[in-house]
Amino acid sequence: MVRFQGDAKTILIIFIAIIMAVVFIDVIADQTYAVTTTLDAVNVTVTVPTANNDLSILGRTLIGSAVVINTTDNSAINATNYTIQTKIVNGKATIVYTNLEAKWNGIDVKTSYSYEPEGYVRESSSRTLVLLVVLFGALAIIIFIISRLMKDSSLKQFLRMK
């Protein structure tokens, strides 16, 4: 059995720690991005439902207003012909498109809007704290690596030399 000592032991521990840190920070950073970033849906093609019926886009909260464009002639459809709003459907925030005019039944339209994805953190102070989790995680990894280098390796002896 091989017994690691000194620098080899330190390098092995640091290597394993870096691999674990990269995996965990990557996952945390992806989730952090998902809950702190508003998104834009641009020119999303949908088929208009029949009059007074809804088309639901689950897991999104509308920010501001949406623009709807007729795909046949690329003209904007007047907002009096439809409503687009956020409703709670089955416990989830949902963007709901309601057609108010029978003349638009079944045609394809392009919609553009900004939205908050499901799980979005609305309070700015909370978004800041979520972002700090990744920063402090990276800082903890750096401190761990430096402490391991100072504890067991020849770097400690090198720094003591005068």
pLDDT digits (tens, 9 = 90+) for 26-78: 888 888 888 899 999 999 999 999 998 999 988 899 999 999 999 988 899 99
What is the pLDDT confidence band of residue 124, given thresholds at 50, 70 and 90? confident
Asked whether 20 and 67 are in contact (CB, 8 A), the reply is: no
* C-alpha distance from residue 34 to each of 31, 37, 95, 131 (Å): 5, 6, 18, 11
Task: Single out the residue of 39, 41, 38 nearest to residue 111, CA to CA.
Answer: 41
Look over the chain and give the mean of its residue pLDDT values, rounded to a whole number.
Answer: 86
- pLDDT, residue 62, reads 94
- pLDDT, residue 6, reads 65
- pLDDT, residue 2, reads 53
- pLDDT, residue 69, reads 93
- pLDDT, residue 5, reads 60
In this prediction, residues 111-121 reach a mean pLDDT of 92
| Whether residue 161 has pLDDT greater than 70 | no
| Whether residue 134 has pLDDT greater than 90 | no
| Whether residue 162 has pLDDT greater than 70 | no
